[in-house]
């Protein structure tokens, strides 16, 4: 039997209520991988003519997690950001996300941030990755990509890091 969005959401709710966050995130990332490998889920969630943007597939009022479907435009590079005190799990349904994780090299007390890349990798179809609280990362898409993101809360209203005009990026160490 294919693994469905409903099963995935039920599983996330159970994990968030019973497991320490770091365990739960690993299991949710595995579950997202199973969901993305169900062609029926991908077909009912995305279509070729869908414009870039995001849709909420599910919000759980009890634990506050969201499952979001993103159509990412090609030839676009996102700015470094964190998810503040919350978390997110990224997984691809079609094409690749180029991920970079960053480390801040200067003290938090300084107003601007200096960021150094610590790892770069690709998330391809069926691949997922969890980002815990405070992890700074950025995404880039060479081609139009279909992405599912699970977030711990509505990240848009959360205080969190966004790359600003006074911040600086260092070359790879
Ligand atoms: Fe993110």
What pLDDT was estimated at residue 165? 85
Q: How far is the CA of 1 from the centre of ligand 1 (A)?
A: 31
What pLDDT was estimated at residue 155? 86
* Distance in angstroms (rounded) separating the CA atoms of residues 27 and 124: 19
Instruction: Write the pLDDT tens digit of every residue in 112-151.
Output: 999 999 999 999 999 999 999 999 999 999 999 999 999 9
The first and second tokens of residue 72, run together, are: 């990412």
Q: Beta strands of the chain (E only): which ranges?
A: 53-59, 66-72, 76-77, 88-94, 97-104, 114-123, 128-131, 136-141, 145-151, 168-169
* Residue ranges for the chain with pLDDT beneath 70: 172-173
What pLDDT was estimated at residue 173? 55
Q: How far is the CA of 110 from the centre of ligand 1 (A)?
A: 23
Is 41 exposed, middle or buried (CB count within 10 Å of its CB: 0-12, 13-18, 19+)?
buried
Q: How far is the CA of 95 from the centre of ligand 1 (A)?
A: 18
Overall pTM > 0.85: yes
What pLDDT was estimated at residue 164? 85
> Topology of domain 5-169, per CATH?
Jelly Rolls (2.60.120)
Q: Which residues neighbour 171 within 8 Å (Cβ) at sequence distance 6 or greater?
A: 117
* Distance in angstroms (rounded) separating the CA atoms of residues 135 and 1: 35
In order of 16, 18, 28, 42, 89, the CA distances from 23 in angstroms are 9, 10, 9, 26, 13
Q: How far is the CA of 168 from the centre of ligand 1 (A)?
A: 19
Q: Tell how strand 168-169 and strand 136-141 pair up.
A: unpaired
Q: How far is the CA of 32 from the centre of ligand 1 (A)?
A: 16
Q: How far is the CA of 84 from the centre of ligand 1 (A)?
A: 10
Report the percent of the chain where pLDDT is more than 90. Answer: 88
């Amino acid at each position: 039997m294919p693994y469905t969005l409903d099963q995935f959401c039920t599983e996330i709710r159970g994990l968030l209520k019973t497991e320490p966050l770091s365990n739960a995130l690993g299991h949710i990332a595995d579950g997202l991988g199973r969901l993305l490998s169900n062609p029926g889920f991908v077909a009912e969630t995305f279509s070729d003519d869908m414009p870039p943007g995001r849709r909420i597939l599910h919000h759980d009022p009890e634990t506050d997690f969201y499952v979001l479907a993103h159509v990412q435009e090609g030839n676009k590079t996102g700015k470094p950001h964190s998810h503040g005190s919350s978390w997110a799990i990224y997984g691809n349904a079609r094409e690749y996300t180029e991920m970079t994780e960053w480390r801040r090299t200067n003290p938090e007390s300084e107003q601007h941030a200096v960021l150094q890349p610590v790892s770069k990798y690709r998330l391809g179809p069926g691949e997922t990755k969890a980002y815990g609280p405070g992890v700074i990362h950025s995404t880039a898409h060479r081609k139009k990509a279909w992405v599912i993101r699970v977030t711990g809360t509505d990240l848009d209203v959360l205080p969190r890091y966004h790359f600003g005009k006074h911040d600086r990026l260092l070359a790879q160490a």
